[in-house]
Structure 1
Amino acid sequence: MTVDGPGGRRWRREFDGRPMSPGGRPLDYRGSDGWGYRILSKSLAAGGFGAGAGLLVGAVRGQPALRLGLSVGTNFLIAASCFGAAQEISRELRAAEPENLIDAAVGGFASGALLGHFHGGRARTLPMGILFAVVGTGLQLGAAEYKEYRIRHFLNTLPSEPLIADANVEVPVVKEEETTEESSWKLPDWFPIQMLSAEQAAKRAAEQEKKRQKTVENLQIGELPLKQQKS
């Protein structure tokens, strides 16, 4: 939907159900959240990888491994910091979602061209920009695929049955099987305390109830048990 803006300009107010500003920017945009963490995580990961690679190459070639690891790690850290900052600037200008591939390509080309111009002059501006764009986009795509793989793997580990049962679906009640006297574990016969099964407990309760009723009947007709008469 378009409405008249200041100066007779017409601008889109909504895009896919989201309110838009006069400049065409979503008013509820939250892609800026966590931009510092994204840059820092990329920089530290690249610096650690570069330091490890430098140490390994130095050890294989017999060169000072610590010095080479520190140098390569620092270069990787600077390159990743420039790439992450350029990517975040592109994302902010486009109001796109974080980790977008277009922003990765734009950020890679901008950071590569800048670093190439500083280190090699104009001759290395375009090749370094293309190289950073390809490598940055490839790494971003690989990270997205790995994240999706982890999500799929986590979903596969969940039980197939739904965690929340539907109210309209009757869930059958599983009754616990009664353990028989033969399969249940028994205490020795000489043990003063014995464990009774459900059937034995019901049978004993029935016998006690029968004895109680017999005693009540005897009391009603004036007869007492033999033990009480002796007392």
Structure 2
Amino acid sequence: MASPNQQGDSPSPSSSTSVDWRRRILIPTILAGVAGGGVGLVSKHRKVYGLANISATYATNFAIVTGCYCGAREFVTATRKTGPDDLLNSAIAGFGTGAILGHLQGGQFGAYRYSVIFAVVGTAVDFAALKLRPKLHDFSESMFDKSSSLKLPEWSPIQVLDEEALAAKRAREEKLYGQRKALNKEES
């Protein structure tokens, strides 16, 4: 008898962990890199260092900080054996990540300062993400139908017709085309 994993009834634990890893570490890191590039575009230093250099620098730094924080948060979550929605994991990960990166940047005083900043900001961002996740899920459900294609709102003048409505539309168009053809013959 084959196991459920071989039949495809349920995903294997490793593939589920892989998807969770992408969702909780890789995607925020990429988004932070994009946000860092955007900050570089409006930075006051872009004239001095050049737009490409400053945007790349900000993007890299944002991505490194976010990747370290998200990785630390996942490590703390696995170590404490709690769910990914526990905000204490965010505070601990922010404190540890801030201490390490702050020590590299500014010594012992930098470690204290950055650990508090990372703990507060990381926990606040995770809290906001937890509160916004249901709203974003509802919004995405309202925008897409079951086949993952974009769903037009009810008030939209553009309508997707089923086979029956499409046939009725073709019949109306043929009738109008015939009437127009008859009027053109009468006028000539």
> Comparing both structures, which one devotes a greater share of its residues to helix?
2
The structure whose Rg is larger is 1
Deviations 1:24-58 (A, max 9, x none): xxxx9xx9564531211111111110111111215
User: SS state of the match for residue 57, structure 1?
Assistant: coil
Question: Distance in 2 between the 1:55 and 1:152 partners?
Answer: 32
Unaligned runs of 5+ in 2: 1-12, 144-188
Question: Distance in 2 between the 1:35 and 1:69 partners?
Answer: 29
Alignment partner of 1:107 out of 80, 85, 93: 93
| 1:116 maps onto 2:116 in alignment | no
Matches within 5 A, 1:142-153: 142-151=128-137
Higher RCO (C-alpha 8 Å, min separation 6): 2
CA contact (8 A) 1:58 1:69 kept: no
Question: Distance in 1 between the 2:84 and 2:141 partners?
Answer: 23
Q: 1:102 to 1:69 in 2, by over 3 A?
A: same
Task: Tell me the TM-score normalised to structure 2 length.
Answer: 0.60
Alignment partner of 1:80 out of 58, 66, 81: 66
The alignment yields a C-alpha RMSD, in angstroms, of 2.6
| 1:92 maps onto 2:43 in alignment | no
Q: 1:35 to 1:153 in 2, by over 3 A?
A: closer
Residue in structure 1 matched with residue 47 of structure 2 by the alignment: 62
Residue in structure 1 matched with residue 21 of structure 2 by the alignment: 36
Q: 1:82 to 1:103 in 2, by over 3 A?
A: same
> Which amino acid in 2 is paired with 1:148?
P
Q: CA deviation at 1:102?
A: 1.1
Question: Distance in 2 between the 1:44 and 1:154 partners?
Answer: 21
User: SS state of the match for residue 116, structure 2?
Assistant: helix
Question: Distance in 2 between the 1:32 and 1:154 partners?
Answer: 23
Unaligned runs of 5+ in 1: 1-27, 158-231
Q: Percent same amino acid among aligned pairs?
A: 29
Question: Distance in 2 between the 1:156 and 1:41 partners?
Answer: 23
Matches within 5 A, 1:3-42: 34-37=19-22, 38-42=24-28
Q: 1:154 to 1:57 in 2, by over 3 A?
A: closer
How many residue pairs end up in the alignment?
128
Task: Tell me the TM-score normalised to structure 1 length.
Answer: 0.50
> Which amino acid in 1 is paired with 2:115?
G
Residue in structure 1 matched with residue 113 of structure 2 by the alignment: 127
CA contact (8 A) 1:90 1:103 kept: yes
